[in-house]
Structure 1
Amino acid sequence: MDNWRKSSYSGPGDGNDCVEIATRPTCTAVRDSKAPAGATLTFPAGAFSAFLDGVKTYSTVTDFARFRG
């Protein structure tokens, strides 16, 4: 069983629209906290840090969504 954690930025209101992560021995898993039974992104060990560095260049989720298309 994974130990899922919400972002420390989560809180009331929009804080419920968040991602959760679970650190596993060989990877880091990410899921939508509103749909925990849905799809999960899995990053190999070490790749999650690179993903976070790339996401930090976007100031908002909307900016990131525009990038994804």
Structure 2
Amino acid sequence: MYFQRLRDLREDSDMNQTQIAEILFTSQTVYSRYERGARTIPVEHLLILADFYGVSTDYILGRTNNKKLNK
């Protein structure tokens, strides 16, 4: 699965892959594989990114187009 939204969110935040990888305590190479869909993103990383960007995990996964969290 290809996560275009991961790339879009990162670019919208004016961040590079290395900066996001540091937040996840992983390497830029591993994070790049998430964006390309070459590696499955672990749930822990998905949750960290959803919190960081202020969006739902469903938005990142393409299950909804609504960025807002339901609270």
After TM superposition, the score normalised by the length of structure 1 is 0.28
TM-score by length of 2: 0.27
- Give the number of the structure whose residues are more often strand, by fraction: 1
The answer to which structure has the higher helix fraction is 2
Higher normalized contact order (CA 8 Å, seq sep 6+, divided by chain length):
2
Q: Which has the larger radius of gyration?
A: 1
